[in-house]
Amino acid sequence: MPTSRQVGGQVCCLCDRPFGENLAAIPLGPTPTSGLFGCRPCLTRLVTRARRTRDTALAQDAERIRVESAAWLPLREAHLARLGSVRQAAEAVAGLARDDGTEALRVAWLLVSLESAYTWVPDTPEPPASLDREDSELKDETFRLDLAMITAREAVAERLVYHLINEAQPEEPEMCAEFECPEGCSGRHDSSHIDCGPDAVFDDLAEHGITVEQPASGPLSPRLAALLGETEAKEKRPLLPDIEEHAPTVLAHFGIDADDTDVLVSVAAVGLVADAWREGPLDVIHAADDGPSDGEIFAQSVDLYRRARTALVAARDDRPEVLLAFVAVASDVDLPWAGGSGFALRSVSEPVAEFVQHVDDRVWFTAEVMRERGWRAALLHRAASAVFKAPTHFGMPGWPSAVASGMERLAVLDRSGAPEALTDLAAVEAALLEAPDRLGANALDWISRQDLLA
C-alpha cells in the first residue's frame, strides 16, 4: 500500500526519496495532480528493464519460431510427397483400368493395393501455432488426391462391371440382338453399347424387394438427351469442327496471340468463368433481394478465374476430369464467397438447382470438346467467348489498361465515404493488378458503383 507521503507527492513511490529542487516529481496518474508520483531515475530504470525484457522475449519467440519451423517443414514436405505419390498411383491405375491390355483381375488387385496406400496416408499434420494455420498447398494436394481416387474407382468399377457381364454371357450372347449390334460383333460390350435408360434401375431393385419412388419426368439436359438418342444426329457431327481454323483469327482481331499458350490459357479461364458461372441463372440470383452484390460477384469471379486457370493447365496432362475441381467450387451452394463475403448460394431465396446444372453442363461441354478435338481446341472455344463477354476482366490482356484508367478516375473522386481499403492508392492499384479480391467485397462494391473499371 502506498504511504501518505507517496500519495501526497512528497516522495517517490518507487525509491521513497523526497522530491526537491534536484529531484522532480513525475505524475503517474490517474490525474496530473493526484495519485502516485515517481522520479526520473526510477522511471528510466523501469523503462530500460521493460525494454530489455521485451527484447529478450522477442528473441526467444524468434528462436522458438525458427526451431518450430525447422521441425515443421520436413513433416510438411514429407506429407506433400506422400499425397503426390499416391495421387500419381491413382492416375496410373485409372489409365491401366481403361487399357484393354490389362487383365481385369490385375485391375481389381491394383485397386485393392491403391486403396491400401490411400488408407495408409496419415492425417494432415497440423502446423505449430507460431506458423500460418492456413496451408493452401496442403489442402489443394489433398483435394487433388481425392479427385484422383474418385476417377480411379470409377474407371475400375466400369471395367469390372462390364468384364463380369461379358464373362457371364454364353458364346452366342442374346444381348447382341437387344443392343442391335453390327454383324460380326464379338459379344463383348462396354459402356458405349449398354444403356438401360433412366428408369430400369427402379424395376431391377423392385425384383429384390426394394421400392424407390421414381422421379417425375421433366425436360432433359443436353447430356441426357444425347444419352437417350434425342440428339443423335447432332452427336454424329464433330464438335466445333472449325474452331481451330477460325478462333485464332477472332482472337487476333482483339489483339490476342493464340500461339502464346500462357495468354491463351488465361483468356480461356476468363471465358470458362463467364460461360459456366457468370451468365444465365446467376443473373436471376443477383437480382434477388437477398442476392449477392456487384462487389461479391466481382471478388468471387476473380477467385474462380484462378481456379479455372489451374484446372485448365492441369487438364493438359491429367485429362479433362480435373475440370471437376472447378465445378466443385463454382457450384458449391454452401461455400462462402471470396473477398471476405459471408454470402453463400444456400442463403438466397431464389432456387439454385438450375444454376448448379448450368455450371455442370457448360464445363461438361468443355471437357467433351477437349476429349474430341484436343486441349487447344477447348481453350480456343472458351477464349473466343471471353473476348466478347469479358474483354477487360481480370486475367484478360486488357485488364492492366482498365486498371490504369480506373485509377486515374479514382484519384480525383471524393473517397470520404469509401471503405478504408481504398485509402492507399498505390496499394489499391497493386491489389487490382495482382488479386482484386484482396481488397474485399465491400471495396469492390464501392468501385463497381462508381463504374471505375467499366
What's the rounded Cα separation, in Å, for the pair 452 and 397?
18
pLDDT of residue 306: 96
pLDDT of residue 195: 57
Residues 6+ positions from 95 with CB-CB distance below 8 Å: none
Q: What is the torsion angle, in degrees rounded to the nearest 10, for the CA atoms of residue 201, residue 204, residue 209 and residue 210?
A: -10
pLDDT of residue 377: 94
pLDDT of residue 412: 92
Cell of residue 158, nine digits: 466400369
Strand bridging mode 26-31 / 34-38: antiparallel
pLDDT of residue 216: 59
Q: How many residues does the chain have?
A: 454
Residues 6+ positions from 12 with CB-CB distance below 8 Å: 6, 19, 23, 25, 37, 38, 39, 42
pLDDT of residue 217: 56
DSSP state of 36: E
Residue 311 is which amino acid? A
What's the rounded Cα separation, in Å, for the pair 132 and 390?
35
pLDDT of residue 235: 45
pLDDT of residue 191: 44
Kindly give the parts of the chain with pLDDT less than 50: 191-193, 230-235
Residues 6+ positions from 3 with CB-CB distance below 8 Å: 11, 16
pTM above 0.85, yes or no: no
pLDDT of residue 180: 52
pLDDT of residue 133: 65
Cell of residue 429, nine digits: 492499384
CB 159 within 8 A of CB 104: yes
pLDDT of residue 233: 46
pLDDT of residue 35: 86
CB 424 within 8 A of CB 275: no
What's the rounded Cα separation, in Å, for the pair 2 and 12?
10
pLDDT of residue 384: 95
DSSP state of 12: -
pLDDT of residue 407: 94
pLDDT of residue 6: 82
Cell of residue 393, nine digits: 476482366
Cell of residue 336, nine digits: 462462402
pLDDT of residue 68: 79
